[in-house]
Each structure stands twice: as structure tokens, then as C-alpha cells.
Chains A and B, each alone.
Chain A
């Protein structure tokens, strides 16, 4: 239809005409900051001596920014900033709610711990290869994925973090790493391509890519559009990213090959981005479809937990055990998503945050154990307890936390998930959660027994001093899980309101479309 108007077009409905409020810049700052530091590091590629200092300072800054962001969101509710002045649904929106801010903050803390650990783990070769720029770009991708409010933009952030993770994974180019990267690279590329397929269909169905707009329009299209197909495609794509059961085998094939700090960061960050995206899409955009698919998700979750932990029991390499434990943890989060409701979703978010901290810490412990014992196989490493008691204690704390034993952070999400599963009568899911926890105790107990308590016959044991750059991040993460375990109330309250905000996203929608927006 030709519409002719004599007056100039009224742009106020489609464009931001005033200047952006100062606080709104906080939404975009984590990403812009990481890119800026990453670019600075690339410019200084000949001055590799400065790299660690700049990167650690940059990551500390990122923690600060994300903490401010979380404080702001907790006080004022979700915030939105649009790119290029185009209002949603035309422009790309960055929208942050409590869930996104929590994930971003914990990711930044984990990355800072990794940055400090890398001071003693990444040698000059690794620095010259570009470890720190890749790390900053990885964090840009991770932060962008947690903060964006646009689904195609989410795909772009996934690719940003994926290409940086490739760079980190092959750092060193040993045959083992190339082997791991081949499997990681191809399977993750297939997963992101599936994500793109789903996004293409999504655009064809909705005509929009803004998450808030989709959440608003899903209700009206439920009868006519193939939303189940869409949701199932997203489930497969993000499940593959998160290493859920039938599509998880790339993770234990690759996570033990790179530098310790790289596997620690991967275990902490990458699979959780998949879980975050799954929570966002399943819970906020397609809640009805999630309900219908909940049996499939629950089954995948239960199998992921059990298969993961059985894999851990079968391994002898410290880091490969941990790779399977990462997979097993993903199963618990899937169980939470399947159960739904405040207990299920809150449990999944809590478990994801806990798992970011604990898995990173455990990989640090694996690295230190390999330093002390000279190998990473628990068949040969022994007597670590007598070599360094403090380190053994920190490892034991993390082993307790990952098994879900009190008083550590793994206990509370596990309680929430088991209770939520029992409340809806899914006793088999609760049983799988408890079985996985029990087998994790055995797997970590076996690890601790063989590598730490077993003494080498006739070998003189001297205590070994470790550099504080490797011990400090481990200690911080272990104390963080102890702190959360002992005093979970503030975090629990925040997670409750985050889960409530996902289930009832009116505040999120209002932040994107302040005056109802264009229909």
C-alpha cells in the first residue's frame, strides 16, 4: 500500500532521540571493556611482558563492572540499551535482567581467577601466541551472550566465544591438542549451525529477533506456527553446546588437552553459556513448549547425569575425570529446566553458578596436582597430601562441593532440585539426582584416595611450596563455595527473583518496550 504523507515522518516511535542515560552504558560496558582490552593487547603484541598485568587488571575491572551492573539491576529492575538508536524490535537491544547479570558476574570472577592462575601457567610462548587477547575476546563473547536481548546477536556472541575458544584450545599445537580441537571444533560448529537453523525458522515465524518481542508474540502464534519444532531445534542446539547426553562426547574428548587454565575456564564458562541460552529460550520465550517437552528434557538430564558420572568413574586421568563431572553437572541443570517452576529454574540457575566456580577450581587443582606429582594420571600420582597439606584440603573442599555435600555450595541447588522434582512427582528424576551425587562422591573419593592419601612405597616425601599465583585462585574459589554453602540466603533470594523474572517476564518486556512499543 502506498502511503503518502506531506509532513516529515515522525521518528520518535522508532528512534531514540534523546541522549542515552549514563547508567544505561553499564549494560554494554562489560563487552566494550573486554574488546577494548583485547584490542589493546593485540596492539601491544610485541610487548608480551605487559600482557599479564594489563589482562589481570582488565579482568578485575570486569568483575567490578559486572558487580555494579548486578547491583543496579537488583535495585532498579531489568535495563535495556539499544544500538544505533533504533528502538526494538528494529534495533539490536542489550537487555540485562537478574539472571544475565548473575551469570556475567560469576563468569567475570572465574575469569579473574583464571587470569591470576595463568601468571604461573602460561609461559612466554603462550603469551606470544596470544593467550591474553584470546582470553579477553572470550570474555567479550561470554558477557555478550549473557547480556544480549536479541537472538541473532546471541548467535554472533556464540561465534565470538567459539573462535576465541578455538584459539585458546590449540595454544601450544601439541598433537594431543590438535586432536582435541578437531573434535571440539567440528561438533561445536555443527551445534552453532543448528542454532542458526532454528534462528532462521524463528525469524520466518515471528518476523522479529528481539527476545522480548518474541515472548510477547508467542502467545498469539501458538495455534498456527510450528513452535514445537522451533523449541526442539533450540533444545538440540543448546543441548549440544552444553554437552547434554546424546551429544556430549566432544567435551571429554577435548577438555583435558589444552593448558590447565584454558580447560578450567572452558569448564567454568562455555557449557554454562549453553545452559543460560537454554534457560532463556525455554523458560522465557517458549514456556508452554518447555512444559510439553519436559519429559524429553528430564530424560536427557537424567541420562546426562548418570552417564557423565559413570564416565568419571571409568577414567584414570585427573582432568578426564573432571571432564565427565562437568557433563554430569549439566544433567542436573537440565533436570531443573525440565521440572520448571521457581524450585526447578532457581535450582538450575544456582547449580550453574555453583558449577562455574567449582569446576574451574577443580581444574586448577588438577593442574597443581600435575605440577606436584609430575603426571596427571591417578595411577601414578600419589602422596600429594604429604607434599602439600593446604592444597589437599582445598581440593577436598572442592570435591565435597561438586558432590553436593554440605556445607559447600553444591548442597543447596541439589536440595532445591530434588525437592522440586519430588513436588511434581518425578521420583525417578530425584533418584537420578541422588544417584549422580552418590557416584560423584565415589569418583572424587577414589581420586582423593589414590592421588592424595596413597603413599609411594619407600619414597622420601618433601613438602613442596607452590607459587601463590596458582594457590591463591584455588583458595579463593574454594572459600567462595564454602561461603555460599554456609550463608546462601542473599544469593538464594537473588536467584529466586531471577527465576521469577524469567517465568513472568513483564519487567523484562517493560524495559524493552517502555510504553508498550510498536505492535
Chain B
């Protein structure tokens, strides 16, 4: 099962990298969303994949019987999901504002902060 998950995570990463290499912000944004999910799946795989064995300690014992999924990575993923979702929301609004304000979503044309032709400073003194 881990091997299949590793393959899936790899595909997610490949898709994310491909999308993030685009010039268009909206595709980069989709890439970021896919990347976040790729990382979550990666952490999830790190916590052992088992079916039907919840990590619940039975009454009268104080340790698990046999292997179960590790619950901690799932807690980490929960934190990461919340964070990446809020960032995704922020960047979505930012992309929209950028599209409105700069009337392009092509990063090649976003040269307001770094103008293409700046005046030269005086060369003599």
C-alpha cells in the first residue's frame, strides 16, 4: 500500500511542479493547492497505513495491541490543511486583485515593481 501511495504522492508533486512552472498566476495557484495536498499525503503515509485498526487503547490495558496507524501525523496534517487552506484563500484573493489592478495574470507582464527600463543614474560627477 505504501508503494502505491508513494507513487501517488510522486504524481501529485509532478503535477504541482508542472503547474507552478507556468507563467499564469491562476495555474500557479492550482499548483500550490496540489502541492499542499501532495505534502499532506506524504505525511499521512509517514504515519503507517493500516485498514480497520483505529489507534484506540482497549479498556484495562495501557498500550496498543499490535500495529495501528500513528495518529500524530494526522494531527500534523490537520494543522497543515488549516494553514495551507488559509494561504490558498489569501493567494486567491491576491491573484484576483492582481488581475484587477494590473489587468493581466501573466507574470511576464507584471513588471510594475521592477520596471523594464529604468533611467540610468548620472554617469559623471
Interface, chain A (partner B; CB < 8 A) = 1-5, 9, 152, 156, 159, 162-163, 166, 170, 173, 175-183, 185-186, 189-190, 193, 196-197, 199-201, 203-204, 252-254, 256-257, 315-317, 377-380, 446, 449-450, 454
Contact = CB atoms under 8 A, between A and B. Distances in A.
Given A9-B62, A163-B90, A204 B46 contact: yes
Contacts of B102: 175, 178-179
A177 B76 CA distance: 33
A211 B45 CA distance: 22
Interface in B75-91: 76, 79-80, 83-84, 86-87, 90-91
B110 A182 contact: yes
A181 B94 contact: yes
Given A152-B76, A178-B97, A256-B113, A316 B121 contact: yes
Interface string B54-75: 0000101111011000001100
B15 interface: no
A300 B42 CA distance: 28
Given A5-B62, A315-B118, 14 more contacts: A1-B65, A177-B113, A182-B98, A186-B29, A189-B87, A190-B20, A196-B43, A199-B76, A200-B76, A203-B47, A203-B72, A252-B114, A379-B122, A450-B121
A267 to B, nearest CB: 16
B43 A203 contact: yes
Contact of A254 (B76, B94, B113): B113
A182 B35 contact: no
Given A179-B110, A317-B118, A377-B119, A185 B20 contact: no
Interface string B96-125: 011001100001001111100011111001
Interface string B34-59: 01100100110111000000000010
Main secondary structure, interface of B, reads helix
Given A193-B36, A200-B42, A203-B73, A186 B61 contact: no
A449 B125 contact: yes
Contact of A378 (B58, B107, B121): B121
B108 to A, nearest CB: 12
Most A CB contacts (10 A, CB to CB) among B29, B73, B83 go to B83
- The bracket for how many chain B residues form the interface is 35 or more
13 contacts: A3-B63, A9-B62, A152-B79, A175-B101, A178-B101, A180-B113, A193-B35, A200-B43, A203-B76, A377-B119, A377-B121, A454-B122, A454-B125
A377 B122 CA distance: 11
A257 B111 CA distance: 12
Contacts of B90: 163, 166, 185
Contacts of B120: 316, 379
Given A196-B39, A316-B119, A2 B63 contact: yes
A246 to B, nearest CB: 15
Ordered nearest first, which 3 A-B pairs have the shortest CB separation?
A204-B46, A200-B43, A179-B112
B94 A193 contact: no
A180 B110 CA distance: 9
B29 to A, nearest CB: 8
Contacts of A3: 61-63
A182 to B, nearest CB: 5
Contact of B112 (A162, A176, A193, A449): A176
Contact of B91 (A180, A185, A254, A316): A185
A517 B42 CA distance: 30
Contact of A316 (B39, B113, B118): B118
Given A179-B110, A204-B46, A450 B122 contact: yes
B76 to A, nearest CB: 6
Contacts of B58: 2
Contacts of A181: 94
Contact of B83 (A159, A178, A199, A454): A159
Contact of A182 (B42, B95, B121): B95
Nearest to B100: A178
B42 A253 contact: no
Nearest to B73: A203
Contacts of B35: 190, 193
B14 interface: no
Contacts of B113: 176-177, 179-180, 183, 253-254, 256-257
Contacts of A152: 76, 79
A177 to B, nearest CB: 8
A380 B121 CA distance: 8
B81 to A, nearest CB: 11
B32 A186 contact: yes
Most B CB contacts (10 A, CB to CB) among A162, A193, A201 go to A193
A163 B98 contact: no
